[in-house]
Chains A and B, each alone.
Chain A
């Protein structure tokens, strides 16, 4: 099924092909290629607006996830009854926020991939509200990025590293 990229902002130039390549690997490792997924790149203003509306936090952030299937157990792959429900939802990437946070020796698209991996784990029911939940999510992100590192020759670490 489809991975749809959107770029709604002007602040950071985004090349779609390198971003798609990385997210396709992540989808493959997680075993969710048969699900639709939207990845939307936005600026600080836009993600702050969404963060305020949906999380009551009036600050920009790096990623927001909008799951199609809610209340999944951590790591549960949805089992839809209808073809149109083969959809994981949308990941909103705050690309302006991310570019402000990343270090010069890092590849920007790698950092986007790390952030998208975190968002994708949220779409699959992972959370990090408690230490136990975080442990599960951290391990999953680590597993995915290990595979991505093998394929891309990188040394990426999970976004949720050090949360607890």
Chain B
């Protein structure tokens, strides 16, 4: 038997977290600073006293030393740049879309870095779908079976697919408030072929927010579909379908997101190469 009914709607994800006022976070710099520890350097650095006017030369960059360590660093960077060159070349070779694919249904696309926005106006309503390609590629399912032949390994490697959470905003003519629906792709779809019983996408949360995204609040009531009456859930899904957000849209969004993610990845590699090369 297919285990549909054992598969309760998923617990709330974190998609909305990114679009709301974020809770205060601990200072990031702590993560980036080395933990305090005793210095184990062997060259008498500990003799430097606080407040001493004399700064030890060991902390300054030096010219090439006799042991060749400076040369090693340069060689490492050179190898890094060569690796990046090869990687960029390979990625461009497998790039499916040189320009971003179009969405059917009259959606207009705006891209700002890793965030994309699709806008459509239907019967006096403005429908906006936003998603961010960062962290949108789910981990690939890996079975226990090893490839029998090495040459097949490359063929068996699954294509990376970007399945971002996406947020649908519906604003009526009066523009007073936005109905916001937080939508997700099922997490177990990629790489698993056995008896998929999840919808192609699902609604996780629904709330009213200000039409101005910067005013979105956590204090607005949020309807969680986890324990929602299924009849109401079906009305919400039909509501979205009537506005062009259906399974076909969800498929096209995956294609768009995957193309955007790949483009941004290649740009990142190129930036990384330029950074490593720069003096």
Chain A residues within CB distance 8 Å of chain B: 2-10, 13, 15-17, 20, 36, 38, 40, 66-68, 87, 89-90, 92
Contacts and interface: CB of A to CB of B under 8 A. Distances in A.
A10 B234 contact: no
B221 interface: no
Which of B4, B196, B230 has the largest count of A CB atoms less than 10 A from its CB?
B4
Given A6-B198, A15-B241, A20 B231 contact: yes
Interface stretch (B30-38, B51-59, B85-93, B245-253): B245-253
A8 B197 contact: yes
A75 B4 CA distance: 23
Contact of A4 (B4, B200, B248, B251): B4
B5 interface: yes
A69 B122 CA distance: 47
Given A5-B230, A6-B4, A17-B231, 14 more contacts: A4-B230, A7-B237, A7-B247, A8-B197, A8-B198, A10-B247, A15-B238, A15-B241, A16-B234, A16-B237, A17-B234, A20-B230, A20-B234, A66-B2
Contact of B199 (A2, A6, A13, A20): A6
A66 B4 CA distance: 11
B251 A66 contact: no
Interface in B4-38: 4-5
A40 B247 contact: no
12 contacts: A2-B230, A6-B198, A6-B199, A7-B199, A10-B251, A15-B238, A16-B237, A16-B238, A17-B231, A20-B234, A38-B4, A38-B5
A8 B212 CA distance: 34
A70 B230 CA distance: 26
A146 to B, nearest CB: 25
Contacts of B251: 10
A40 B197 contact: yes
B2 to A, nearest CB: 5
A92 B247 contact: no
Contacts of B237: 7, 16
Contacts of A20: 230-231, 234
A4 B5 contact: yes
B235 interface: yes
Contacts of B94: none
A155 B7 CA distance: 36
A17 B241 contact: no
B200 to A, nearest CB: 7
Interface string B227-261: 00011001101100100001110010000000000
Contacts of A5: 230, 234
B1 A66 contact: yes
A100 B219 CA distance: 49
A94 to B, nearest CB: 14
Interface in B184-214: 196-200
A72 to B, nearest CB: 14
Nearest to A88: B5
Nearest to B199: A6
Given A9-B247, A40-B2, A17 B196 contact: no
Contacts of A4: 4-5, 230
A3 B4 CA distance: 11
